[in-house]
Amino acid sequence: MTGSAASVEPAVSGDEGVARRRLALAMAGVALWSLAWALIAIDARATYGARVSADEPQYLTTALSLGTDFDLDISDELRERSFLPYHEIDLDPQTRPLNEDGQRLSPHDPLLPLLLAAPMRAGGWAAAKATLAVFAALTAAAALWLAVRRLGVRLGIAARVVAAFFATPPLVAYGSQVYPEMPAALCVTLGLAAVCGPLGRPARMLAAVMVVALPWLSVKYVPLAAVLALVVVVRTWPNRRRTLLAEAVFYVIAGAVYLWLHQAIYGGWTVYAAGDHFVSSEFSVVGRRPDYLGRTRRLVGLLVDREFGLAAWMPAYLLLPGAMAVLARVRPSKWWAIGATVAVGYGVATWVAFTMHGWWWPGRQLVVILPAAVAVIALAAERIAALRWVVLGSWIVGAFGWVWLAIEASTGRRTLIVDFAETSNPWYQAWSTLLPDYQSFGGLGSVVLHWLWAIALIAIAATAWRCCRRPGPTSHTPAGTSSAERCADDIDASRIP
């Protein structure tokens, strides 16, 4: 019996090695593909008066200060107008003097400027944008790994779906625009990869780093960090209480350090305490009198708004409700962790964010969860073959529209912020007439379109649920998982109450 087992092992190991090499090559290919697409718009202008706009120059100026002065104080950069290479007009400092020395701190969490400090010092704004393109490439590779190794999607299908979405807005847009969205998306994707597999020491350490990093990219990512930490708690309790206690102490200390440093540096619990827009209260960033019932319409609007909806620029995002239905129907291993993360991120964009419109490229509030959502859409595309053609067709129109706009914004005919919706792209001009305008929601036409699209999205979810194949006996085992990983995962799963 021992000899028989030994004779089988080399074949199994060989198959596993081939699968790992194929996945690694596919990840490298998707990463290079995404990098190339993200680099297309590096030279595109945000506004007619500046190369970058809104929060982008804030992050770049802080990165410049960190790279040259090794501090967060941007008062000397503002005084010397060091921002002129990327913001040719006067810069709104978004802050006020914080002490008698005139110290000014940009009201944005410092991890993104810290990541961009060396590129800013070495190559200026172009190097900083290229660095974000590298983050987009890494995120695409991580999303592919998540789809294949955690959701069990076949490699070919997963690679095509991930490549399609990372070559279209908003993921391709935030591969070059200076916001923390793409690094945060990488953190969430890697965090899910860690907490949805065997919870050994490397996975726990990776999850811990991602949980701690997210709030330092932006306080708005705290709910997502909490979800990742909660997944670890649920999977660990009650059989590894000593390990859980140690991790709980670590997270408490990390949270306390975060709050203490913000009080010491920014003078409040969040960076908004240093902002000149939030003098009355740093928590007014979510709105002074938020209308949560009114914000509920964003459940539909985040997808189909005429200008800021995901589907306005990449129609395949209309598949998201159906993909979530497929995830709940198929239930691959740890599906609930991925589903909860996407749902919480979508909920924050719906009810917590001050607005779904703004002085930025559409989809900003959702970018952080979109790679995970794309992995779920890949799962749906594997179960329902027709969806693969929908993704392919959407990639064609979405990528065409992005290249069109990038050329317009690089030649002065349009910009990425001010008038992107006035692009001369004929597809967008025709398609957008079918979408509601939530910026003028009082009109009867937008209300009618809102409800029609709400019904359509529900129908998409119901149809996907009905059409998706029921899970087979091995559907919970991700493709390419080694026998050791399967064994560890089974043991780990058996400890969950």
Distance separating alpha carbons of residues 35 and 138, to the nearest angstrom: 9
Residue identified by tokens 């811990």 is: 208
Distance separating alpha carbons of residues 226 and 248, to the nearest angstrom: 12
Distance separating alpha carbons of residues 40 and 339, to the nearest angstrom: 32
Nearest to 163 by CA among 201, 137, 188, 128: 137
CA distances from 282 to 26, 269, 278, 354 (A): 45, 8, 5, 13
Q: Write phi, then psi, for 303 (nearest 5 degrees).
A: -95, -40
Got the DSSP string for 230-283? Answer: HHHHHHHTTTTHHHHHHHHHHHHHHHHHHHHHHHHHHSSSSGGGGBTT-SS-GG
User: What's the maximum distance between 2 C-alpha atoms anywhere in the chain?
Assistant: 81
Structure tokens at 397: 């129109």
Query: Residue 277: pLDDT above 90?
Result: no
What is the structure's pLDDT at 245?
85
For the chain, percent of residues with pLDDT exceeding 70:
90
Query: Looking at per-residue confidence, does 75 or 303 come out higher?
Result: 303
Q: Is the peptide bond before 362 cis (omega within 30 degrees of 0)?
A: no
CB atoms within 10 A of CB 202: 11
What is the structure's pLDDT at 495?
32
Structure tokens at 332: 């691959």
Mean pLDDT of all residues belonging to the chain: 86
Question: Hey, where are the domains in the chain?
Answer: 12-494
DSSP code, position 149? I
Contact 332, 151 (CB under 8 A): yes
Distance separating alpha carbons of residues 131 and 121, to the nearest angstrom: 12
Quick: pLDDT tens for 287-296: 778 888 889 9
Non-local CB neighbours of 237 within 8 Å, separated by 6+ positions = 244, 497
Query: Residue 5: pLDDT above 70?
Result: no
Distance separating alpha carbons of residues 274 and 304, to the nearest angstrom: 35
Non-local CB neighbours of 100 within 8 Å, separated by 6+ positions = none
What is the structure's pLDDT at 393?
94
Distance separating alpha carbons of residues 164 and 232, to the nearest angstrom: 31
Nearest to 162 by CA among 475, 395, 319, 325: 395
What is the structure's pLDDT at 493?
34
What is the structure's pLDDT at 211?
96
What is the structure's pLDDT at 242?
80
What is the structure's pLDDT at 276?
67
Query: Looking at per-residue confidence, does 262 or 470 come out higher?
Result: 262
Quick: pLDDT tens for 156-188: 999 999 999 999 999 999 999 999 999 999 999
3-class SS of residue 412: coil
What is the structure's pLDDT at 494?
31
What is the structure's pLDDT at 17?
81
Residue 52 C-beta-side C-alpha neighbours within 13 Å: 24
How many angstroms from the chain centroid is the CA of residue 80? 35
Nearest to 306 by CA among 407, 458, 181, 449: 449
Quick: pLDDT tens for 61-81: 999 999 998 889 888 888 888
Structure tokens at 357: 């419109």
What is the structure's pLDDT at 1?
41
Angle between helices 320-330 and 335-347 (to 10 degrees): 150
What is the structure's pLDDT at 278?
62
Distance separating alpha carbons of residues 458 and 177, to the nearest angstrom: 33
Q: What's the rounded mean pLDDT across residues 39-50?
A: 88
pLDDT band at 470 (very low <50, low <70, confident <90, very high): low
Contact 209, 228 (CB under 8 A): no
pLDDT band at 239 (very low <50, low <70, confident <90, very high): confident
Least confident piece of the model among 129-133, 246-250, 404-408? 246-250
Distance separating alpha carbons of residues 212 and 316, to the nearest angstrom: 32
Distance separating alpha carbons of residues 73 and 61, to the nearest angstrom: 10
Query: Residue 11: pLDDT above 50?
Result: no
Q: What's the rounded mean pLDDT across residues 347-362?
A: 90
Residue type, 88: E
Least confident piece of the model among 133-142, 152-161, 463-472? 463-472
Distance separating alpha carbons of residues 182 and 131, to the nearest angstrom: 11
pLDDT band at 280 (very low <50, low <70, confident <90, very high): low
pLDDT band at 477 (very low <50, low <70, confident <90, very high): very low
Distance separating alpha carbons of residues 476 and 490, to the nearest angstrom: 11
What is the structure's pLDDT at 2?
42
Query: Residue 478: pLDDT above 70?
Result: no
Q: What's the rounded mean pLDDT across residues 429-454?
A: 88
pTM: 0.88
Distance separating alpha carbons of residues 356 and 363, to the nearest angstrom: 8
Q: What angle do CA 145, 146, 152 make, to 5 degrees?
A: 95
CB atoms within 10 A of CB 353: 20
What is the structure's pLDDT at 292?
85
What is the structure's pLDDT at 92?
78
CA distances from 92 to 72, 87, 276, 354 (A): 17, 10, 10, 20
Structure tokens at 13: 């190991």
Distance separating alpha carbons of residues 444 and 98, to the nearest angstrom: 48
Query: Residue 210: pLDDT above 90?
Result: yes
Query: Residue 38: pLDDT above 80?
Result: yes
Distance in Å from the first CA to the final CA of the chain: 35
